[in-house]
């Protein structure tokens, strides 16, 4: 009886166990027994001695999620085995998962981001695509051709694309016929070690969406990926349906493409967890314009990874506007793989209810003459709203003549609104131009007065200024209809907030 009680404690609260290694001697046998009974048959494929070590070090809660994820992806028909890259991804992810524990506030990357909301819920991976009829109402406003991804599954019947140039592929990995492209996919798939959520996505990804742009190919119209979250539970039910969309973008030498990612939800108050990953490999001299709009349900968890590898002379531009989710976190990792790269990251986060908006970005410069600009803006308009920013530039010893700048600006519109920003530069090279800055404030009195002196009342002035604060990022969207849509969406979200914030 006592033993099972202890096992339960460990299960619910694994972190202390991890932080105190000496305890493992005592608790290991009990934990082992628990894991053995639940997880061993499915995940552990290596030799027993290694597994024993993993099992001791692994977090039971993580293993439990992994197990349910594996259940959900195992195909109902034993005949259809997953394509080899997907299998490789799952295997790699299962393995790396074993070395991760569920993050706590004591882990530096999650110091300000409380994930207990997810942990406290019962996670139910979504094992089947949603019914098409439920999608139609959400997509009614679409005029743009797009690829629809509902709960991590491609919905082919609703997806349409303008004629793509020869050799370009957009779609599910299972439809990828080109040998060369497949080879490249295998080469670059998951060539980066992310955190726990990265690995969970790898284990739970139902499909791999591939965007392949061959050498020298320039695509005029944007590739529009619309992610819908249909399945969701009621707020109080404590269940968290989870989807794991995964995209790989491969741009060969000289290719150029605009990718728009838009995350939508069917119902504004549904509870679900989208754990998404996008990997991009940008070849020599290629350009990727990445637009990312996240407007999910305000009760949802949204965790997203964007990992980018930039070859020499390549350009990566990210513009992000995130306003949804109870917990929303975007991890951006940009790795420079050659000299003369251009990287521009612009993000706008809005916290208009009791939500957390988090951006963790890391740019690693290992080659000379990289140019990078980062602008992060966030607006917190709720007393329990929070924004988190951790922006890191690492300029290694070889990255001479790097020109990098980073700026974060936050608007706190109500008392007790919180923002935690950590802009940081790690510079080893000695011939570089690097700057960073952070500003946290309410609206400027001098600007407000300028409006008022021209007869514009305070409320309207605040509205215009808050909107203009965000417009700097929104205006960087390369695709005009998206820009307009984002503007009206932000205006709509902020509208009811002005009355409260104008005090």
Partner 1 sequence: MAAAIQVATLHQLSRPTTAALFTLPSAPKDGIFTASTHKLMPSGSAGLGSNRQRFRRLCLRSVTASVAAIDYPMSRYRHDEDGKVLLEVKDLTAVIAESQQRILNGVNLTVHEGEVHAIMGKNGSGKSTFAKVLSGHPDYEVTGGTVAFKGENLLDMEPEERSLAGIFMSFQSPVEIPGVSNADFLNMAYNARQRKLGQPELGPIEFFTYVYSKLDLVNMKTDFLNRNVNEGFSGGERKRNEILQLAVLGAELAILDEIDSGLDVDALQDVAKAVNGLLSPQNSVLIITHYQRLLEYIKPSYIHIMENGRIFDCKLGRVQQLTLRRYLLQKFTMPVGRITSTNGFHVLLK
For partner 1, the binding residues (CB under 8 A) are 444-447, 449-458, 460, 464-465, 467-472, 475
φ/ψ region of 325 (left if φ > 0, alpha if ψ in -120 to 50, else beta) reads: left
180 DSSP β-pair partners: none
Nearer to partner 1, 75 or 475 (CB): 475
d(CA 395, CA 81): 43
d(CA 379, CA 190): 33
Straight-line distance from the first to the last Cα atom of the chain, in angstroms, rounded to the nearest whole number:
58
Tell me the closest approach of the beta carbon of residue 452 to partner 1, in angstroms. Answer: 4
Tell me the closest approach of the beta carbon of residue 358 to partner 1, in angstroms. Answer: 24
Please state, as a whole number, how many other Cβ atoms lie within 10 Å of the Cβ of residue 273.
26
179 — phi, psi (to 5°)?
Answer: -65, -45
- Cβ neighbours of residue 111 under 8 Å, at least 6 residues apart? 105, 420
Tell me the closest approach of the beta carbon of residue 420 to partner 1, in angstroms. Answer: 24
d(CA 118, CA 108): 18
d(CA 425, CA 363): 10
φ/ψ region of 152 (left if φ > 0, alpha if ψ in -120 to 50, else beta) reads: left
Tell me the closest approach of the beta carbon of residue 258 to partner 1, in angstroms. Answer: 23
Tell me the closest approach of the beta carbon of residue 349 to partner 1, in angstroms. Answer: 16
Helices (H), ranges, 346-457: 445-452
Nearer to partner 1, 37 or 446 (CB): 446
Nearer to partner 1, 335 or 476 (CB): 476
Residues, the chain: 503
313 in Cβ contact with 256 (< 8 Å): no
For residue 33, give both structure tokens.
């027994």
361 in Cβ contact with 372 (< 8 Å): no
280 in Cβ contact with 290 (< 8 Å): yes
Smallest CA-to-CA distance from 406 within 368, 367, 371 is with: 371
Nearer to partner 1, 441 or 446 (CB): 446
Residue burial 390-428, b: 16+ Cβ < 10 Å; e: rest: bbbbbbbeebbebebbbbbbbbbbbeebbbbbebebebe
Nearer to partner 1, 22 or 454 (CB): 454
Nearer to partner 1, 164 or 456 (CB): 456
Tell me the closest approach of the beta carbon of residue 474 to partner 1, in angstroms. Answer: 9
Nearer to partner 1, 28 or 458 (CB): 458
Nearer to partner 1, 57 or 464 (CB): 464
Nearer to partner 1, 331 or 501 (CB): 501
d(CA 63, CA 101): 9
Nearer to partner 1, 220 or 445 (CB): 445
Scan for tokens 């119902």, then name that residue. 267
For residue 184, give both structure tokens.
């490249």
Beta strand pairing status for 256-265 and 433-441? unpaired
- Cβ neighbours of residue 482 under 8 Å, at least 6 residues apart? 260, 291, 293
d(CA 503, CA 498): 9
Nearer to partner 1, 40 or 487 (CB): 487
């Amino acid at each position: 009886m006592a033993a099972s009680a202890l096992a339960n404690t460990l299960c619910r609260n694994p972190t202390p166990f991890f932080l105190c290694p000496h305890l493992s001697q005592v608790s290991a046998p009990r934990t082992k027994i628990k894991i053995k009974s639940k997880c061993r048959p499915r995940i552990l494929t290596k030799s027993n001695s290694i597994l024993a070590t993993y099992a001791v070090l692994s977090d039971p809660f993580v293993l439990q999620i992994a197990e349910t994820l594996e259940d959900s992806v195992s195909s109902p028909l034993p005949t259809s085995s997953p394509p080899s890259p997907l299998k490789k991804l799952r295997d790699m992810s299962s393995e790396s998962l074993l070395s991760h524990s569920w993050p706590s506030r004591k882990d530096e990357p999650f110091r300000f981001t409380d994930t207990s909301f997810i942990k406290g819920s019962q996670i139910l991976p979504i094992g089947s695509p949603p019914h098409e009829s439920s999608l139609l109402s959400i997509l009614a406003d679409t005029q743009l051709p797009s690829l629809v991804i509902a709960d991590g599954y491609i919905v082919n019947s609703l997806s349409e694309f303008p004629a793509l140039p020869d050799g370009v592929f957009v779609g599910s990995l299972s439809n990828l016929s080109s040998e060369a492209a497949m080879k490249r996919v295998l080469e670059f798939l998951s060539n980066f070690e992310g955190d726990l959520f990265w690995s969970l996505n790898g284990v739970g990804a139902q499909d791999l969406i591939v965007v392949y742009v061959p050498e020298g190919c320039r695509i005029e119209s944007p590739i529009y990926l619309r992610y819908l979250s249909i399945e969701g539970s009621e707020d109080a039910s404590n269940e968290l349906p989870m989807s794991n969309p995964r995209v790989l973008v491969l741009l060969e030498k000289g290719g150029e493409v605009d990718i728009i990612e838009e995350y939508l939800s069917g119902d504004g108050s549904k509870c679900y967890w989208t754990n998404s990953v996008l990997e991009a490999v940008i070849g020599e001299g290629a350009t990727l314009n990445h637009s990312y709009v996240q407007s999910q349900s305000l009760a949802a968890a949204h965790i997203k990874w964007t990992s980018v590898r930039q070859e020499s002379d390549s350009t990566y531009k990210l513009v992000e506007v995130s306003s949804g989710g109870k917990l929303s976190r975007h991890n951006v990792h940009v790795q420079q793989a050659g000299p003369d790269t251009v990287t521009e990251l612009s993000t706008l986060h809005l916290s208009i209810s009791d939500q957390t908006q988090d951006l963790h970005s890391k740019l690693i410069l290992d080659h000379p003459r990289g140019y990078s600009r980062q602008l992060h803006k966030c607006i917190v308009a709720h007393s329990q709203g929070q924004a988190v920013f951790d922006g890191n530039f690492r300029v290694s010893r070889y990255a001479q003549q790097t020109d990098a700048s980073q700026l974060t600006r936050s608007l706190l519109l109500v008392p007790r609104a919180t923002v935690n920003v950590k802009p940081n530069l790690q510079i080893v090279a000695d011939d570089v131009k690097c700057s960073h800055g952070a500003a946290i404030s309410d609206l400027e009195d001098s600007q407000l007065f300028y409006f008022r002196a021209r007869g514009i009342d305070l409320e309207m002035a605040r509205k215009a200024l808050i909107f203009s604060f965000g417009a700097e990022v929104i205006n960087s969207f390369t695709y005009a209809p998206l820009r307009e849509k984002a503007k009206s969406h932000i205006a709509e979200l902020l509208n009811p907030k002005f009355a409260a914030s104008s005090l």
